[in-house]
Amino acid sequence: MVASHRSLRVADSLYCYIWQGMGNNCNAAFFPDLLRGEHPHVLVDPGHIRNEFREDCFLSLTEAMKKDGFRVEDVGLVVSTHCHPDHFEASQVVAEKSQALVALSREEGEFYQTMGIKFYDMLGGKAPPLEPTFYLQEGDLNVGAKTKVNLKVLLTPGHSPGSISLYWPEEKILISGDVVFFASVGRTDFPGGSPPLLRKSIERLSQLDVEHLIPGHSTEPGKIISGKSKVERNFQMVKMFV
Ligand SMILES: [Zn+2]
């Protein structure tokens, strides 16, 4: 199978796998060799297993990772920005292959147990179990790292009640999940969505010093948003939508 993810090395310790298939799937972020032990990689938002066009999204991701010399079996932690199927469905497969822990915010975990799982039913998919899991809190993501990557977890609800963004101040990189995209913002018409909360979250993210914004989906094919002025202009523009 030809991978439908484009690999982009955004920093020494960060690869972005940008989805460019036909149907829906998210971009994944990947921090190699971050953790101590036999499963050192951290994967953010593994995405769909298979999407509405029957594209093998997860297989594509693993192929793209393999080309860069990484195995999904060596992932020790999956971080989920939120629990929607196009971000979270494959987390279970990663956990099965690697015994990786799955992490998301407590707010999103609680939402998942009540309404989030039903959302999978609505879309005709199968919701992955939430085990093994630990909850992320607002603040430093402290995972006993062997490489110094000081990530900050920001609670940025609105698209989903417990959506998080990840900010890496040293590299000025922001992984925003489905809060903000290039020239667009996350939908608020899914279960638990809230336009006022999304507006607040976007306002908060726009205060950060960001050189590379990695959105959950690329509205410019194959691209992330790079360059401080382009990121700032994008925030100015999207604030008019929310
Ligand atoms: Zn979403």
pLDDT at 159 over 70: yes
> Do residues 145 and 35 make contact, with C-beta atoms less than 8 angstroms apart?
yes
For residue 58, how far is the Cα from the chain centroid?
14
pLDDT at 132 over 70: no
- Mean pLDDT throughout 158-186? 97
201-229 pLDDT tens trace: 999 999 999 999 999 999 999 999 999 99
What is the whole-number distance in angstroms between the Cα of residue 18 and the centre of ligand 1?
16
Confidence at residue 1, expressed as pLDDT on a 0 to 100 scale: 66
Residues of the chain with pLDDT > 70, as a percent, come to 98
What is the whole-number distance in angstroms between the Cα of residue 6 and the centre of ligand 1?
20
Residue 144's pLDDT band (cuts 50, 70, 90): low
Q: What is the mean pLDDT of the chain?
A: 94
> What Å distances lie between residue 105 and 42, 160, 164, CA to CA?
16, 11, 7
What is the whole-number distance in angstroms between the Cα of residue 30 and the centre of ligand 1?
19
Residues facing 241 on adjacent strands: none
